[in-house]
Amino acid sequence: MIRVLALTSSGLGHLFPMVPSLWAARCAGATVLVGATGPAVAGSVGAGIPAVDLFPDGMDELSAIRASFLRRMPGAAEGERFALAMRLFAALSDRVADAAVALGRAWRPDVVLHTALQPAGPLVAAVLGVPAVEHGFQLTGVARTQSLMEPHLAQACERHGVPGLRDVDEALDVCPPSMFPGGPTGLALGYRPYGGARALDPAEFTERPGRRRALVTLGTMADHGELAPLLLRTLAKHDLDVLVAGELPVGTDPDSVLAHGWLPLETVLPGCDVLVHHGGAGSTLAALSRGVPQVIVSRDADHAFNGEAITRRGAGVFAVPDGGDTAVLDEALDHVLHDPRPSKAAREVAEEIAGLPGPEQVVPDLLTELTTARRREYA
C-alpha cells in the first residue's frame, strides 16, 4: 500500500486545492497523512484527512515572521516583492523543516506531495530518497520557485545531510492552460474546487426568479479594512441579491444580504451572476470552474496577477476602488452584468477545465508510476 505524506503551509488557500487529489489517492487505496501548521491542520481534519501539526506552539512566531516580510512589501518594486515572498515562504518552511523531516523518518512515506510554496516537501523527499510531487494552487504555474527558495534553506539541508532540495519528479498544474502565458508549466490537472463544508439553508443557493445574484468573498487570510463595507454599499446600488462568504462588516444590516458566513463557493456559485472578490487563487479558480464572471478588487499578494489574467482572458474585470471612490467598481459591475462577453469567456474556461483530466484520473496512475520506478531503481 502506497503511503503519501502531503506537506503544506498554513494557509487554507494552499491546502484546499490539494484536497481532491488527496481524496483521489485515498480512493485508490493509498494511505495519506498531512503535515501542516495553523489553519491547515484543522482544514485537513475537516476534509477527513489525518494531519500532524508540525509547529503546535509556534503560530505566533510564524505570524510574526509573516508580518515582518509583509511590512516591507508595500511600495516595493514588483521584482523585489516577489523576492521577498520567496524569502518569506522559505523562512516559514525553515521553522517546520526539522519537524517535517522527523515525521518523514518516522512514517516512511513512498511519495511526498507538497504545495508549490512549501519547500519542506522536497527537503523531506531528499532526506528519504523518495519521489516529490509539487501540487499547484494558483494561476502562476508550478515548478518555478523551488530554486529561488533553496538558497534560504541551505542550513536546513546541511542539518539533515543533503546537498539541496530534491528536484520535483512531477508537478501538477491546476491553472487552466488558456489562463497562463505559454500554457501549463507541469502536468495539466483539471481544477476541482473544495472549500470546506457546512450545513446550508436552501435560500443560500436557491435562485429567486427575475433577480440577479452576486457572491462576495475576501478570502480566508485577507484583512481589507473598509473594502468589505464599500463593496456592499456599491452592490446595493445595482439591485442584486447578495451572498457574503464571510463575516459581515460591523454595522451591516443582516437583512441586506441573503446569507453570510462560511459558504462553500463551489456550491453557491452556480446560482450567481458575478463573484466580487479579493483575487485569491482559490476564489478565482472556483469561479472559473463554474463559469461565473468575476470582479477582482485587491492588489495584495498575487491578486493583481490574477486580476490581470482574468481581464486578459475576458472572464471578468480587475477593478480596484480608489479610496472611497466606487466609480471603477460600478463600471466593472455594469460591464460584467450587462455585457454578454465576460459570461461567455467564463463558460469557455469552465468547459476547458471540465475537459482536463481530474485528480481521480491522474493521481492514482502517477503514484503507481513513481513508486514502481523507485522499486526498479533499488531492485
- List the domain boundaries for the chain: 3-190+356-378, 202-355
Q: Which of 102, 112, 105 is nearest to 53 (CA)?
A: 102
Q: What is the CA radius of gyration of the chain?
A: 21
Q: Which residue has the higher pLDDT, 285 or 80?
A: 285
Taking only the tens place, the pLDDT of each residue in 229-265 is 788 888 888 888 888 888 777 767 677 777 778 888 8
Report helix, strand or coil for 258: coil
Instruction: Say how far apart CA 118 and CA 135 lie, in whole Å.
Output: 10
* Segment 333-347 mean pLDDT: 96
pLDDT at 221: 45
Three-state secondary structure string covering 26-87:
HHCCCEEEEEECCHHHHHHHHCCCCEEECCCCCHHHHHHHHHHHHCCCCCCCHHHHHHHHHH
Lowest mean pLDDT of 84-93, 152-161, 244-253, name the range: 244-253
Does 202-355 match 3-190+356-378 at the fold level?
yes
pLDDT at 49: 97
pLDDT at 206 over 70: no
Q: Does domain 202-355 have CATH number 3.40.50.2000?
A: yes
pLDDT at 375: 66
pLDDT at 204: 67
* Segment 108-128 mean pLDDT: 96
Taking only the tens place, the pLDDT of each residue in 41-60 is 999 999 999 999 999 988 88
Task: Compute the mean pLDDT over every residue in the chain, rounded to the nearest whole number.
Answer: 89
Q: Which residue has the higher pLDDT, 146 or 164?
A: 164
Instruction: Say how far apart CA 45 and CA 37 lie, in whole Å.
Output: 12
- Homologous superfamily in CATH for domain 3-190+356-378: Glycogen Phosphorylase B; (3.40.50.2000)
Instruction: Say how far apart CA 146 and CA 61 lie, in whole Å.
Output: 23
Instruction: Say how far apart CA 224 and CA 341 lie, in whole Å.
Output: 29
Q: Which of 346, 327, 326 is nearest to 336 (CA)?
A: 346
pLDDT at 225 over 60: no
pLDDT at 342: 97
Q: Are 121 and 156 in contact (CB under 8 A)?
A: no
